[in-house]
Amino acid sequence: MIAQPETKRYTLDEYLELEITSETRNEYCDGEIIPMTGGTPEHNEIASILNAALRVSLKGKPYSIFVADQRLWIPERKLYTYPDVMVVPRPLERQQGRTDTITNPVMIAEVLSKSTKSYDRDEKFSAYRTIFTFQEYLLIDQYTAHVEQYSKTDSHKWIFTEYDDPESYISLSSIPFEIRLADIYESVEFEP
């Protein structure tokens, strides 16, 4: 039997130091560094459309909106991650001792890819739920018009809503925002 090489474990400080000079974004999960793969044009288009709609809807309101490059720290899971879209109430709460990492999102959206959809639905959502301020989660399919919404109603209670009808409206309860499903996919051309 051939011995498998042991995965190198990194401290939080080692990860953060490497991330400063890294040309790619990397997640950190309890000692392991996980490279984030590049997105497809459809993935980026969907995230861009959602970001633009959120910016218009939340203009003048006390929220910041971040897309893909803002690091989030989840201390209970020792996880650094970069959500696709994140809405954060102001003032921003930053990880102690850091100016580049936030800790208080109220809404997170992930655009699903074939390689990350199980992780985004399971482990990542489980980690996000440990964040006290986190209230709403959108999982947006990039291959077909389909969105899953999870809205927190009480401690440990979430409502699941699914959207497939292009004319249906997705209304968020955590922030004043509503968008028609078809508008999320406005410029997206699905492969046959």
DSSP string, 26-89: EEEETTEEEEPPPPPHHHHHHHHHHHHHHHHHTTTSSEEEEESS-EEEEGGGTEEE--SEEEEE
Kindly indicate the confidence band of residue 1, based on its pLDDT and cuts at 50, 70 and 90. Answer: low
Q: Looking at residue 38, what is its pLDDT? A: 67
Average pLDDT on 100-104 reads 97
Q: Looking at residue 2, what is its pLDDT? A: 60
pLDDT tens digits along 126-170: 999 999 999 999 999 999 999 999 999 998 899 999 999 999 999
What is the pTM assigned to this prediction? Answer: 0.91
* Cα 42 to Cα 127: distance, rounded to the nearest angstrom: 26
Q: Report the share of the chain in percent with pLDDT over 90.
A: 73
Q: Looking at residue 165, what is its pLDDT? A: 97
Average pLDDT on 80-100 reads 96
